[in-house]
Structure 1
Amino acid sequence: MEKIVVVGAGQAGASCVAKLRSEGFTGKITLIGEEHVPPYQRPPLSKAYLLGDMELERLFLRPESYYAENGIELMLDTRVDAIDRADKKVIAGGMTVDYDALVLATGSVPRRLPAAIGGELPGVHVVRTLRDVDEMAPGVVEGRHALIVGGGYIGLEAAAVCRKKGMEVTLIEMADRILKRVAAPETSDWFRALHTRHGVTIREGVGLERLLGDDHVTGAILGDGTELPVDLVIVGIGISPATSLAEAVGIEIDNGIATDTQGRTSDASIWAAGDCASLPFRGERIRLESVQNAIDQAETVAKNILGADQDYDPKPWFWSDQYDVKLQIAGLNRGYDRVVVREGEGACSHWYYAGDTLLAVDAMNDARGYMIGKRLIEAGKSPDPAFIAEASADLKPLLKG
């Protein structure tokens, strides 16, 4: 193994190359990214960075000098045009880069509104890259009207930032409640109340008919016929795994680039990690769209390229910041049949059960509940739901034994 190429200079790609070096790999490493800046954190983009509370350099995962100092060739502003599996070459930016092992850490792409309803009008934005947020920022101005399309976590975070900036905000969600795809009704209710208190108008069960404007978005007609004045639109209707490179060369795709438990694709010389990769997990194939998964999966792939023969066993956790609320999520709530609500002073947590088995916890400003819930889930322990519901019950002893 002499040459390793990583395509995608996001969290997964950066974690992979760093791990390769820290594990002692001395061969050539090439990290190829389409953006013009070195790998950076994405979560703060729509929060601290958009608010102006974080400088650009603080977004960077590592100083740009790190890559040269560690013998990592960093090819920025470079698009990979093709992969030659037979000769083990990547064609990028008019150049050919040889590999012995190739890692696809291509991430995901945001879904956009169709051009036919005004999705390409200036003033309509998605939240994914630094460029997206830099283009959006001048329009986030006090007194203007923002329309948020989509009631998932990206949409809710965008709504919170716009309100903090003094904008009038309307959020529409086509489903009958916000967060329907990812959370229980109890969590939807909690965040609906939070945003309503902060002045966001939430319209559930309402889609977008079309946007209005010629040179810039000026309004919106909703599915129920309501017409709104609009100066800025932020679209948060989900993401899709970036699989086009893999698809073009016949690598197996199954809700992402399909990998085995070690991160290897259907080509033994090609690996995948991060948002673009789907992996076997508890009898099904899933993708985990989170920073921690990108780091852990990419580091496991790096070790396996070097011969570790290690299965990746994810421990899912996620977070979201909205106003003064820190949401922390442990586990996956798939298959839950009841939710136990635990109320505390200034804090709340929702515990998901399937029968008597604890699956996941949504913790709102409840760091202790999150920490204990996470450790219980990872240990395969399921406390009595009635005990969890007792607000005065001390959860810490649950970790013993």
Structure 2
Amino acid sequence: MSEPRNIVVVGSGLAGATAAATVRERGFEGDVLVLGADPHRPYELPPLSKAVLLGNADEPDWVREEGYWAEHDIRLVSGVAATRIELGARLVLDDTGGEHRYDRLVLATGSRPRALKVPGGDLPGLYTLRTLDDSLRLRAAFEAAKRVVIVGAGWIGTEAAAAARTHGAEVTVVAPEKQPLANVLGEEIAGVFHRLHTEHGVQWRLGEGVSAITGDTTATGVRLSNGDELSADVVLIAVGAAPNVDLAHVAGLELADDGGVCVDAGLRTAAPDVYAIGDIASQFHPRYGHRVRVEHWATARTQGELVAGNLVGEHEPYLKSPYFFSDQYDPEHGGPAIGCEYRGLPDLDRDRVVVRGDLAGYDFTAFWVTPGGEVSAAMNVNQWDDGDALENLVDNRVVVTDDQLRKGNLAELA
């Protein structure tokens, strides 16, 4: 592979910005361009549903300080979206009429909130949460609201529920699942989050769907599938995210069954010198032996770091296990709170859950264990001393007994 002269990164989120910064920090001296539709300089998403939404911060965590991009000769073009890729000509076109030639191209176009496809689903006044501007608007709405309805009980829905209750609003969460977060944690551990929010006064309409958004000229509530209507000052739609793959699809890149762009272990697409990272990357993962697409902060950052080396001639596979964290409620505001970290990729239909600690006291570590005794995932809740051990247990698929996980020395087991 010859040394590239110019690298173009489409997407200015954490993945794309990290790739651009890392390739420069590794000594690449050619041209580096980052095109981003977001008007702000690159920032990280987790604070948007945590510190910013709670009012503990007015800014997110920036990927680099404000002057970094110019100081490192990285051309950051914010508020400009790529509109077409011409693979044969090695050309990216943008919505201002600009044309950008590349020797290496990185697609890091991220995700967008999924819409709720019901009558009224396009009414003005509905809220979603993806960008910094979304978070600031939603925080102002929470501060003024008496009643909030959140459709969706995943990570965004539950973190937003905690923020809305902290601001003093009445909160109802609607979701078809029997428990919040059941799709990622399973029923037993999801029940811990259900109880946490119930203790903070969140009302649940679980096992129910939304048949319509109500309101004439603006959203004023939701109608449930059983006919009940819930009125609200704020309706937040938090039913997941869809990868932004239109650009890649139109260009002719292969898409996977999970909706992402197919990449190999080193994050390369089948097109010469084109890579995909972050939310859109459906990677054949050597650790798992199948395609994996992850929409979390840590994957965006670490894939951005790894792809930088591959852009300039390395051939390293991406081997990291999925990782994310969540903070729900603040003990300084009173009542129980959860801070947690989650590592791994379990099969919820197959793996059993082993708990070390006190579920009722929100002080535990949960392990997902395969039928063969391998640790496939681990989540520490309000426990912070065993992070390295948990990472090693998960990454190395260590075989242990349930009793060892409950009572043993985790560092020694790892």
2:18 is matched with which residue? 15
SS in 2 for 1:181: helix
1:49 is matched with which residue? 52
Is 1:283 aligned with 2:300? no
Aligned-residue RMSD, C-alpha: 1.6
1:333 is matched with which residue? 346
1:86 is matched with which residue? 88
Residues 6-49 of structure 1, C-alpha deviation per residue, up to 9 Å, x if partnerless?
00000001110011101111000000000111001111011111
Q: From 71, 78, 84, give the equivalent of 1:69.
A: 71
What is the CA distance between 1:370 and its match in structure 2? Answer: 4.4
Is 1:257 aligned with 2:271? no
Query: Is the 1:186–1:350 Cα contact (8 Å) retained in structure 2?
Result: no
1:224 is matched with which residue? 226
Query: Is the 2:152–2:238 Cα contact (8 Å) retained in structure 1?
Result: yes
What is the CA distance between 1:388 and its match in structure 2? Answer: 2.1
Structure 2: gaps of 5 or more residues: 330-336
Q: Closer, same or farther in 2 for the Cα pair 1:188/1:366, shift >3 Å?
A: same
Query: Is the 1:362–1:370 Cα contact (8 Å) retained in structure 2?
Result: no
Q: From 151, 154, 170, give the equivalent of 1:152.
A: 154
Q: From 353, 357, 360, give the equivalent of 2:377.
A: 360
What is the CA distance between 1:398 and its match in structure 2? Answer: 2.1
Aligned partners of 2:362 and 2:143: how far apart in 1? 31
Identity of aligned residues (%): 36
2:411 is matched with which residue? 396
What is the CA distance between 1:229 and its match in structure 2? Answer: 1.7
Tell which deviates more after alignment, 154-163 or 335-344: 335-344
Q: How is 1:274-353 mapped onto 2 (pairs within 5 angstroms)?
A: 274-281=278-285, 282-323=288-329, 324-334=337-347, 336-344=350-358, 346-353=362-369
Aligned partners of 1:385 and 1:379: how far apart in 2? 17
What is the CA distance between 1:219 and its match in structure 2? Answer: 2.3
SS in 1 for 2:385: helix
Structure 1: gaps of 5 or more residues: none
Q: How is 1:122-137 mapped onto 2 (pairs within 5 angstroms)?
A: 122-137=124-139
What is the CA distance between 1:122 and its match in structure 2? Answer: 2.9
For residue 331 of structure 1, what is the amino acid of its counterpart? G
Aligned partners of 1:266 and 1:329: how far apart in 2? 32
Aligned partners of 1:363 and 1:59: how far apart in 2? 23
2:217 is matched with which residue? 215
For residue 412 of structure 2, what is the amino acid of its counterpart? P
Is 1:244 aligned with 2:233? no
What is the CA distance between 1:141 and its match in structure 2? Answer: 2.4
What is the CA distance between 1:242 and its match in structure 2? Answer: 0.9
What is the CA distance between 1:148 and its match in structure 2? Answer: 0.8
Residues 375-397 of structure 1, C-alpha deviation per residue, up to 9 Å, x if partnerless?
2222332321123234xx54333
Query: Is the 2:149–2:172 Cα contact (8 Å) retained in structure 1?
Result: yes
1:385 is matched with which residue? 402
For residue 102 of structure 1, what is the amino acid of its counterpart? L
**What is the TM-score of this pair, normalised by structure 2?**
0.92
What is the CA distance between 1:170 and its match in structure 2? Answer: 0.3
What is the CA distance between 1:135 and its match in structure 2? Answer: 2.8
Is 1:101 aligned with 2:104? yes
Is 1:25 aligned with 2:38? no
What is the CA distance between 1:291 and its match in structure 2? Answer: 1.2
What is the CA distance between 1:369 and its match in structure 2? Answer: 4.5
SS in 2 for 1:140: helix
Query: Is the 1:145–1:229 Cα contact (8 Å) retained in structure 2?
Result: yes
Aligned partners of 2:409 and 2:144: how far apart in 1? 44
Aligned partners of 2:204 and 2:362: how far apart in 1? 23
Residues 107-153 of structure 1, C-alpha deviation per residue, up to 9 Å, x if partnerless?
11110112x42222233111111122233232112551111111111
Tell which deviates more after alignment, 30-39 or 133-142: 133-142
What is the CA distance between 1:346 and its match in structure 2? Answer: 5.0
Tell which deviates more after alignment, 150-159 or 309-318: 309-318
SS in 1 for 2:404: helix
1:200 is matched with which residue? 202
